[in-house]
Amino acid sequence: MIQIEQLTKVFAMGENEVLALEDVTFSIVKGEMIAIMGPSGSGKSTLMSIVGCLDVPTSGSYILDDSPVEKMNDAQLAQVRSRKIGFVFQQFNLLARTSALENVLLPLSYTGMSSRASREKALQTLETVGLKGRVKHHPSELSGGQQQRVAIARALVNDPAILIADEPTGALDSKTGAEIMDLFQTLHRDFGQTIIMVTHDSFIARHTDRIIRIADGHIVSDTQNATPLKAGTPRPDAEI
């Protein structure tokens, strides 16, 4: 599904250039659940932006479903994002004055789907994430975990091939974070979602099938996780 080869990203900072990524190469197979892991400033957020078609590399190749992303213009990138990629962020990014249902309906407003079909799809997706009884609630009336479930439903409602989650449990307590990880693992298992988690947290990364570690703009390891942690596994005292 994803093939990245010798990808480099350079940012201009005034008269200076900052090398964010250099010679990054890896691939992701459809249906994988992986973690891209690294400390702040490692380049993982830049890599997420490129994988998520929010940005393009300075050089190198990014092939997504046989299409070269690095050659796409802004309109083509936007089309790929709307059709193939769903995003979940640490801070939920919900519209405060709209209900859970209306938040999830928003991505469907650009698809040409009828109002009735859109509503049915949004309700079904909210039920999938465990919020059947909260569809009329506003974000201020929901817990942090419930808000993240709304955000996940919003990311899923267009049936994206890829779900990208950026520190999805970072704003949650450990118990609620475990519940959200359980939801991601269920989506991966039951619906075949390709899930990419971007995190600095080794405990969260250990719930995935594969961990790509990045430091100073380079991939330093790419390993399969033989025994992924199950959601609900208590965090070791040393990592609390």
Q: What is the pLDDT of residues 154-212, one digit of tens each?
A: 999 999 999 999 999 988 988 898 899 999 999 898 888 899 999 998 889 999 999 99
pLDDT (0 to 100) of residue 237: 55
CB neighbourhood size of 29 (10 A): 10
Above 80 in pLDDT, residue 219? yes
Distances (CA, A) of 25 to 21, 123, 142, 147, 212: 11, 39, 41, 35, 11
Residues 6+ apart with CB under 8 A from 226: none
pLDDT score of 232 more than 80: no
Query: Mean of the pLDDT values across residues 3-17?
Result: 93
- Residue 146, domain CATH: 3.40.50.300
For residue 208, what are the domain limits?
Answer: 2-239
Amino acid letter, 77: L
Q: What is the pLDDT of residues 82-105, one digit of tens each?
A: 889 999 999 999 999 999 999 999
| Residue 240 confidence (pLDDT) | 42
DSSP-derived secondary structure letter, 157:
T
Q: Burial, 97: exposed, middle or buried (Cβ in 10 Å; 0-12, 13-18, 19+)? A: exposed
Contact present, 150 and 131 (Cβ < 8 Å)? yes
Query: What total of structural domains would you count in the chain?
Result: 1
Q: What burial letters (b/e) apply to 206-240, b meaning 16+ CB within 10 Å?
A: ebbebbbbbeebebeeeeebeebbebeeeeeeeee
Is 146 or 174 the better-scoring residue by pLDDT? 146
% of the chain surpassing 90 pLDDT: 74
How far lies 114's CA from each of 88, 95, 104, 105, 122, in Å? 25, 22, 15, 11, 12
